[in-house]
Structure 1
């Protein structure tokens, strides 16, 4: 609920403080007194896009502050939570317009963007008037209004979920087809490459192993002859034979040498042991270096094949096994791609059926709600002296989506037999006002905490019709808050709270002011609305009668 509005230096207003109340609040005044300025200022603090030249002439800046009461379950709290703004029960909006056009906004003293302000304002205030192309007259919003009236969020959520599931499978199917087409474009390459990899079967680390073995065999070719000659020099035909002869001769002479040969014999024995150890080591080295020339040829051939395959695919040799697995997977995907697509097509058909069932159920609920709304509108139009008019909710096919496949538009026919058409094109000014009011009365049960503003919605009607309009507005305000800018005395008399907007001129400067009216003042104001500038006692009596009847 809008509780207070403080306006400073906006257009013709220098300083204005208003305290609003629950129920029906009416604002009256002569044409040009500044009622539209009041709404422009409220729209400014709510972030609505409007006229740019709002700052009062001679002022450095204009400022508007609006105070709202927010119930615990008010939808505006979700917007505030998303923006990270904590509040209790009081919401304070403040917006400043500098002379150079710059605009700055705050919510409870926290600076916010215009986007946050507008999203919040959509949960706070709703404006209706003869040029209401932003609200009830906009066919783009009619489906949402009907859904709110139907009050079947379960069907909406089921349809959204079915659409999301269907869309997800459709994306998977499109991606699978795209992948398969890409794989088919390189099928010849894949089959040839996989055949090469399967034939060669390279292993991780194999390049280094083969290279080491190749170097070893090449080295064996170069040093093998020298090692063989060395082994021969160490063996029995070389150093070993003479040393054994020397040992045998010394051993024969040792008994007559009185121990003089013992030490030489021990040294010779150690030398023979070391020689035998050296001979064994050289023999083992020679055995290691021995190879089949055909083995070197085979090692070189495989090493060159592995390195050639690596160069062909522009990878390191050790990356070949992983690349081979990747190519095999792609070929497997190619061979199994048709089956995958068949499975996805089956899933998509099942998802289509689920979405069709959900959308059909939602359409049926909408059709039922439309029939109920059309009946409710007929009941509302009769008291507004439009019993011959017909309101009809029309359906057409829309592109399927998360909200179903229905396009919804509210249409009217003002007279029996006349063609039905869009609200804003068929109804005249007075008729349109009453249609909008009746529609809002029917839909008001779907609102939560909104302050409703009707800007001269009673224009073009009078007498009993104006009284009926006022009573519908009063009924609409009984459970919340309605602000009405009106020129109708019948509507003004039904307000619980009444303000008069007037224009003053002092020292050549024009300003607007808004004055709350007590009972006596209300009599005079309603009498003015009935009689014009010259208020007669008869007009006052008529005003008192209207107030008494309210």
Structure 2
């Protein structure tokens, strides 16, 4: 609910602070007094696109502040959370417009954008009037209004869920078809490559192992002869034989030299053991270097085959096994593709059928609600002196989507037999106002703290019709805060709170002021609206009669 509005240096307002109440709030005043400026200022702080030049002449900047009460669950709370702005029971909007056109906005003392203001405004305020292209006159919103009237939220959620499932199934099928088409384009390569790789069967680490073996065999050809000579020099008649002879000779002479050969004998024994160990190691090396020359060719051929395959597939040799798995899985996907596509097509068909069934259920709810709405409108139009007018909720087929398969538009025929058409093209100004009011009364559900503003919606009507308009506004005000700018005394008399807007000249400046009216002042204002500039006692009596209804 709009609690207050503070306006500074906007057009012909220097400083104005208003505090609004729940129920029906009425603004009256002479034409040109500044009532539209109040709406322009409110629209400015709500981020609406309107007049370009709003700053009062001679002022450096204009500023508007509006504050609202937010009940629990108010839709504005979700907008605030999404924008990362503070959420509280009171919402304060402030916007500044400098003389050079720059605009700056704050929400609960946090800088924000005009777009966030507009998102908030859609949850806070509805503006209705003869040029109401933002609300009831906009055909793009008629389906949503009908769904709200029908209480179709559950059926609509089911349609949207089915639509999401339908799109998901269609996307999965499309992705699979594209993937399989790509695989088919490279089918020959896949089959040849997998066959080649499986025939080669490279193992991780095999490249390094083969390279080491090849290097060893190449080196063996060069060093084996030298190692064999070393073996001959150590074993047999070589060093080992000579040391054995020396040890035998020393052992034979040791008993004749009083132990002087014990140490040499022990040393030669150790030497003999070391020579035996060396001989064994050399012999083992010689044996290991023995190979079939054709083995070198086989190792080299396999090593080169692995490396050539790695270059062909642009991977490291150790990654060839993984590459084989990848190509093998693609080939398996291609081979299984027909079955997968059949399953995905079946899933898509089932999702389409489920969405179509959900759309049918929603369409039936809409058609039933449309009949109820048309009947309710007929009841509402009669007291508004439009009993001959025909209001019709037209439902026509539309492409299936997340909101169903229906296009919805409110149409009217102002006289029997006359062709029907969109509200804003068929109805005249006064008729349009009454159509909008009747429609709003019929569509009124839970207010969720919404403030409804009616800008001279009673223009062109008077007498009993104006009284009927006023009573319907009062009915709306029982469930939501309503602000009405009016020239009709019958409408104004039904307000719970009344302000007079007037212009005054101060020096060389023309300023607009807004004054809350007490009961006596309210009688005078209604008398002025009835009689004009010259207020008579008869007019005051008529005003009191209006207030006493």
Which residue number in structure 1 is paired with residue 147 of structure 2? 147
Instruction: Between 274-283 and 468-477, report the one with greater CA deviation.
Output: 274-283
Instruction: Between 370-379 and 106-115, report the one with greater CA deviation.
Output: 106-115
CA RMSD of aligned residues (A): 1.9
**SS, match of residue 373 in structure 2:** helix
**1:273–1:455 distance in 2 versus 1, CA, 3 Å:** same
Provide the C-alpha distance between the structure 1 equivalents of 2:127 and 2:239, rounded to a whole number of angstroms: 120
Is contact 1:149-1:446 (8 Å) kept? no
Which residue number in structure 1 is paired with residue 123 of structure 2? 123
**1:286–1:515 distance in 2 versus 1, CA, 3 Å:** same
Provide the C-alpha distance between the structure 1 equivalents of 2:263 and 2:537, rounded to a whole number of angstroms: 159
**SS, match of residue 223 in structure 1:** helix
Which residue number in structure 2 is paired with residue 10 of structure 1? 10
Which residue number in structure 2 is paired with residue 105 of structure 1? 105
Provide the C-alpha distance between the structure 2 equivalents of 1:206 and 1:300, rounded to a whole number of angstroms: 12
Instruction: Between 480-489 and 530-539, report the one with greater CA deviation.
Output: 530-539
The answer on 1:462 being equivalent to 2:468 is no
Cα deviation 1:489-534 (Å, max 9, x = unaligned)? 2112222222221111232321111122233322332222223223
**SS, match of residue 384 in structure 2:** coil
Q: Structure 1 residue 273: deviation in Å?
A: 2.8
Provide the C-alpha distance between the structure 2 equivalents of 1:526 and 1:258, rounded to a whole number of angstroms: 154
Provide the C-alpha distance between the structure 2 equivalents of 1:246 and 1:14, rounded to a whole number of angstroms: 130
Which residue number in structure 1 is paired with residue 409 of structure 2? 409
Task: Structure 1 unaligned segments of length 5 or more: list them.
Answer: none
The answer on 1:49 being equivalent to 2:49 is yes
Cα deviation 1:33-64 (Å, max 9, x = unaligned)? 11111111111111211111111101111111
Which residue number in structure 2 is paired with residue 73 of structure 1? 73
Q: TM-score, normalised by structure 1?
A: 0.95
Q: Structure 1 residue 203: deviation in Å?
A: 0.7
Provide the C-alpha distance between the structure 2 equivalents of 1:74 and 1:437, rounded to a whole number of angstroms: 24
**1:253–1:470 distance in 2 versus 1, CA, 3 Å:** closer
The answer on 1:315 being equivalent to 2:308 is no
Length, aligned pairs only: 549
Which residue number in structure 2 is paired with residue 211 of structure 1? 211
**1:12–1:227 distance in 2 versus 1, CA, 3 Å:** same
Provide the C-alpha distance between the structure 1 equivalents of 2:257 and 2:478, rounded to a whole number of angstroms: 144
**1:216–1:438 distance in 2 versus 1, CA, 3 Å:** same
Cα deviation 1:225-251 (Å, max 9, x = unaligned)? 122222223333434445444555555
Is contact 1:148-1:446 (8 Å) kept? no
Is contact 2:447-2:479 (8 Å) kept? no
Task: Structure 2 unaligned segments of length 5 or more: list them.
Answer: none
The answer on 1:192 being equivalent to 2:192 is yes
Provide the C-alpha distance between the structure 2 equivalents of 1:382 and 1:367, rounded to a whole number of angstroms: 23
Q: Structure 1 residue 286: deviation in Å?
A: 0.2
Q: Structure 1 residue 479: deviation in Å?
A: 2.5
Which residue number in structure 2 is paired with residue 420 of structure 1? 420
Which residue number in structure 1 is paired with residue 531 of structure 2? 531
Provide the C-alpha distance between the structure 2 equivalents of 1:39 and 1:339, rounded to a whole number of angstroms: 64
**SS, match of residue 382 in structure 1:** helix
**1:254–1:452 distance in 2 versus 1, CA, 3 Å:** closer
Provide the C-alpha distance between the structure 2 equivalents of 1:476 and 1:442, rounded to a whole number of angstroms: 10
**SS, match of residue 26 in structure 1:** strand
